[in-house]
Amino acid sequence: MSTTVARDETVHEAPSARQQAVLDAVLALLVEEGDQLTMDAVARRASCSKETLYKWFGDRDGLLTATVRWQASRVHAGRDAVGALDAAALRDRLLDFAVTWLDVIAGRTSVVLNRIAIAHAGSRKGNLGAIVLANGRLAIGGRVKPVLEAGRAAGLLAFEDSETAFRTFFGLVGRDVQIRLLLGDALDLDAAEIRRDAARAVDQFLALYGQARP
């Protein structure tokens, strides 16, 4: 058997430059046109043939998945490494996370991608929702929790479970912003308001979980 090799060329890792351009076209289309994204429109916008799209991405879902992954890969950029913390450094770290997170979820791209993933999660077989979850809520949690634990180790914070503490932080930062945006509420946050909201959230979190150094 194996008369033809039939190599699987669908994108699983590291899209080529041309493929990235296609994925950027998808993002642009998504942001501009809402979610009635057709393969024809993508091909036209990216100046490529539908056949190529199917060759590279398998099917529509594959294209969407690759797009979500592609977008996720650019958001991650972040220097971490938790060293010893004093109160001011802890506050700065948390503030940084809060601002970054609000920036992301308030962005058009995030809103649109989350809409897609949510719709997808509704019609089963959707790992899209899982992917967005893994790169959004779960990723930020994975990065914040070590900071919280370092804060506890330094005697600056008091909590039993870092997951629970993080979820409180998440709630204080996000509040109703994401659901309102997803449902189409206008609510445009400028940078100044994001900074204010983030600072308020961090202050509240520290009020709940902080403790004076013993």
Partner DNA sequence: GCCGCCGCGTACCGTACGGTACGGTACTGG
Partner DNA sequence: CCAGTACCGTACCGTACGGTACGCGGCGGC
49 near DNA, rule: CB under 7 A: yes
Taking the least distance from each CB to DNA, the nearer of 14 and 84 is 14
Q: In angstroms, what is the minimal distance from the CB of 15 to DNA?
A: 11
Candidate residues 10, 20, 52, 204; the one interacting with DNA per rule CB under 7 A? 52
Residue the block writes with tokens 């994001």: 194
Q: In angstroms, what is the minimal distance from the CB of 147 to a second copy?
A: 17
Candidate residues 12, 32, 38, 155; the one interacting with DNA per rule CB under 7 A? 38
Q: In angstroms, what is the minimal distance from the CB of 111 to DNA?
A: 20
CA distance 204 to 201: 5
Binding residues for a second copy, rule CB under 8 A, total 40
Taking the least distance from each CB to a second copy, the nearer of 54 and 159 is 159
3-state secondary structure the chain: CCCCCCCCCCCCCCCCHHHHHHHHHHHHHHHHHCCCCCHHHHHHHHCCCHHHHHHHHCCHHHHHHHHHHHHHHHHCCCCCCCCCCCHHHHHHHHHHHHHHHHHHHHCHHHHHHHHHHHHHHHCCCCCHHHHHHHHCHHHHHHHHHHHHHHHHHCCCECCCCHHHHHHHHHHHHHCCHHHHHHCCCCCCCCHHHHHHHHHHHHHHHHHHHECCCC
In the list DNA, a second copy, none, the entry touching 55 (Cβ below 5 to 8 angstroms by class) is DNA
Taking the least distance from each CB to DNA, the nearer of 3 and 36 is 36
Taking the least distance from each CB to a second copy, the nearer of 44 and 180 is 180
158 near a second copy, rule: CB under 8 A: no
**Applying CB under 8 A, which residues contact a second copy?**
34-36, 112, 114-119, 121-124, 126, 129-130, 132-133, 136-137, 167-168, 170-176, 178-180, 182-185, 204, 207-208
